Amino acid sequence: MSTAQIAFLKGHGTENDFVIIPDHDGRIELSPAAVARLCDRRAGIGADGVLRVVRSAAHPEARAMAGEAEWFMDYRNSDGSIAEMCGNGVRVFARYLHHAGLVEAGDLTVATRAGLRHAHIAKDGPEGAAGDVTVGMGRAVLPEGEVTVTVDGRSRPARNVNMGNPHAVTFVDDLDDAGNLFTAPGVAPAGAYPDGANVEFVVDRGPQHVAMRVHERGSGETRSCGTGACAVMVATARRDGLDPAVTGLPATYTVDVPGGRLVISEAPDGTVEMTGPAVIVAGGTFEPSWLAAALA
């Protein structure tokens, strides 16, 4: 890591918060331990994850996508592990690019480890309020086979939904049934989720309106999870008999998360879109010497 000061920003999407590291030319090395320290809410900056902003052409995992997406979202969970995708992270990533003057409002394509994601940045609203960001989240994959989620010794059936990363969605009578989500719920069978799972607990709030809590793999309970909200929408539409592939009609659900509200839509061709806020709240620099000393 360079000895020069490193710039960062802090942003959130429905209170799913991120440290943003602009590294356009891909010169900063972030070890898992460094990411975990940056995300530490007492000894670091504090976040649910890190978004490293790199030109696709400068990153070996994204070079093949450089012709379609100038920017690659290198996303890390708060424990330092690498994740395939982060829905709220894509919105915040797009907001950063607009905030930094690197893109205009309108359509944008972002490279991720789960492939290309297409976003739309709405123009700013009255009094400069940042417009919502819509992200095309791709198509959900629903692997066959029964899965269960276990909390406090009680097991419940769940729906296996993959949004580029793995989710187990279970319906409960009360969100308190999720228990203490600082520790990961049990998910079985293990073979259904060889790399672990994000787990969503869902209650009904009204017609095509649900609320959720989530334990994110590698981060613990978070205030929001964009891919999780999409997985919840897909699972709920199947439960409600509103699978767009069957009805031929798009389905839209409002999904409340502890940090706000997201609107998720699925088209008859299976493509899923997520719309919600994305906010840049602060910026500054940190000393690499602090990080090196903290990890010594």
Beta strand spans in 123-174 (E): 133-139, 147-151, 154-162, 166-171
Tell me whether the omega of the peptide bond preceding residue 189 falls within 30 degrees of 0, making it cis: yes
Other Cβ atoms within 10 Å of 174 Cβ, number: 8
For the record, the structure tokens of 172 come out as 């409960």
Q: What residue numbers does the annotated binding site for substrate cover?
A: 16, 77, 87-88, 165, 198, 216-217, 226-227
Please state whether 126 falls in left (phi above 0), alpha (psi between -120 and 50) or beta.
Answer: beta
Question: Hey, which residues are catalytic here?
Answer: 86, 225
Q: What residue numbers does the annotated binding site cover?
A: 16, 77, 87-88, 165, 198, 216-217, 226-227
CA pair distance 100, 103, nearest whole angstrom:
8
CA distances (Å), 5 to each of 26, 33, 71, 198, in order? 16, 18, 23, 35
Task: Show Cβ contacts of residue 231 under 8 Å, excluding neighbours closer than 6 positions.
Answer: 140, 159, 161, 162, 163, 167, 169, 198, 200
Query: DSSP assignment, residue 78?
Result: T
CA pair distance 235, 229, nearest whole angstrom:
10
Are 47 and 18 in contact by the 8 Å Cβ rule? The answer is yes
Other Cβ atoms within 10 Å of 113 Cβ, number: 17
Within 169-242, residue ranges assigned H as helices are 226-239
